[in-house]
Amino acid sequence: MEKIVLIGAGNVGYHLGKRLFEKGLRPIQVFSRTPSKAIQLAESIEADPCSCLVDIRRDGTLYILAVSDDAIEPLSEKLSLHLPANALIVHTSGATPSTVLANSFSHYGVFYPLQTFSVNRPVNFDQIPICIDAPHKRDFEKLWGLGHVISSSVHRITDEQRAVLHVAAVFVNNFTNYLFGIGYDILKNHQLPFALLQPLITETVAKIKTAAPQEMQTGPAARRDKETINRHLKLLHEFPTFQTIYRQMSQGIETLKK
Amino acid sequence: MEKIVLIGAGNVGYHLGKRLFEKGLRPIQVFSRTPSKAIQLAESIEADPCSCLVDIRRDGTLYILAVSDDAIEPLSEKLSLHLPANALIVHTSGATPSTVLANSFSHYGVFYPLQTFSVNRPVNFDQIPICIDAPHKRDFEKLWGLGHVISSSVHRITDEQRAVLHVAAVFVNNFTNYLFGIGYDILKNHQLPFALLQPLITETVAKIKTAAPQEMQTGPAARRDKETINRHLKLLHEFPTFQTIYRQMSQGIETLKK
């Protein structure tokens, strides 16, 4: 039986811990620098909480680092002073190469769930792509098996590929959400409810399940309808940032082949 | 019983005609300059097809202009020479003021379904916001009733509000779809399947049903994580347009209050 030590109880650690527990792979210990967070998650998944690095169990068969990107490297250095040299350690970050762990551990890898997590929102793990990699075959196989326990979508993704995936994720998640926020602000400014745009947003996403997004591109920029574009830019005079983005996105769309 | 004449058999005309028919409000006639389109839609909703303006019936109680934005004004001028002076005429455009009809008709209005339509995709009309307006009370009431027959979401929206809605719709639909296309291109360039991003996209949209988009903003720009931003910009070196958009969107997100 795997002895998993979960290091980090933030958005990713929380949902990963819950999912492992749900699937019968209860982590033995949960570490968080914030004792209350360690206790809260640990209690809900019947693990032991821990808030001091020196208390982290040394007999784990897998250490999962679910911490912020910039904490991964310094934390793994500290852990290497405490844990056995042959411990297997993985991080869960889309933006960080696996090799930042290589300075401290010879057995390392990545276990990256490609999704946006919030503690207070349940997630359907079964559909989440789990992107894994590890230089040693046996470590890889262990992660591969673990991935399949919690999701039906497991992929070998190299550091280079994961970096590409992560930048693409920024476009379709962070930037898309920002556009939704712009829609929200424009409507709010005229006392119109954002709910009016919800069916349109739902359909925008539903459409790209059946065809490439480029084939679904519509609107004034796709039609090269300068008159409407100029009218829109005028309407946005109260929002210079939105004007700039409108111009930039329209120019981008105009470069698409008709 | 309403005698509806549907002018235009494109994406909007097609779905509107189908929905009216489905709800027992069969249009009596379908006009399209392209005879095959007029015939195809008319046959499927048991209406008469027509491709010459002079053949448009003069006894309609409501003329719905579902044509491209730039055709609305010239077409209404031509129709005014043929139809009775007191005919009620509406257009279905988000981008066009109702007043372009006022030069030709005294009874006019707007009947704008806020959705993106493609002929080959079925739509769930019941959720689509129908944005209506008309200067005359009785015309307005007629459109209000008609709206409720085909949707549960009917709203009085003035020309000014509709212009605002339309620009917001461009952000959340056209521009969002363009971002999806960028994600698609970046992945394709590295032989990665777009399907990897689908659960993330689905969740991005699901999240804003429970909270304002701004509250859900995450990612390197929201964290002011310059290191990741610079790494992403480097990764995008093959796509200068995407680089520009990445920079612009990140700057926009950084202006949001933390």
- Which pLDDT tens digit goes with each residue over B23-42? 999 999 999 999 999 999 99
- Give the whole-angstrom CA distance, residue B13 versus residue B48: 14
Q: Of A177, A192, A218, which is closest to B165 when you measure between CB atoms?
A: A192
On whether the CB atoms of residues B222 and B251 are closer than 8 A, the answer is: no
User: Which pLDDT band, with edges at 50, 70 and 90, does B120 fall under?
Assistant: confident
DSSP lists the bridge partners of residue A89 as A63, A108
**pLDDT at site B44:** 97
Q: Of A172, A225, A252, which is closest to B245 when you measure between CB atoms?
A: A252
Residue B253 has pLDDT above 90, yes or no: yes
Q: Does A119 touch chain B (CB under 8 A)?
A: no
Q: Of B202, B205, B248, which is closest to A245 when you measure between CB atoms?
A: B248
CB pair distance less than 8 Å for B212 and A194: yes
**pLDDT at site B113:** 98
Q: Given the structure tokens 């970050």, which residue do they identify?
A: A93
What are the tokens at A74? 């310094």
For residue A167, the surrounding DSSP H or E stretch is helix A159-169
Mean pLDDT of A212-222: 92
Q: What is the pTM of this model?
A: 0.93
Residues 121-150 on A with a CB inside 8 Å of B are: 121, 123-124, 127-129, 131
Mean pLDDT of A118-129: 90
User: Which pLDDT band, with edges at 50, 70 and 90, does A258 fall under?
Assistant: low
Q: Does A245 touch chain B (CB under 8 A)?
A: yes
CB pair distance less than 8 Å for A171 and B194: no
Average pLDDT of every residue of chain B: 95
Average pLDDT of every residue of chain A: 95
Q: Of B128, B228, B236, which is closest to A69 when you measure between CB atoms?
A: B228
Residue B258 has pLDDT above 70, yes or no: no
**pLDDT at site A2:** 93
User: Which pLDDT band, with edges at 50, 70 and 90, does B85 fall under?
Assistant: very high
Q: Enumerate the residues of chain A whose CB falls inside 8 A of the CB of residue B186.
A: 164, 167-168, 171
- Give the whole-angstrom CA distance, residue B163 versus residue A213: 25
- Give the whole-angstrom CA distance, residue B80 versus residue B101: 10
Find the angle CA(B235)-CA(A164)-CA(A115) to the nearest 5 degrees: 135
Closest chain A residue by Cα to residue B196: A129
Mean pLDDT of B155-183: 97
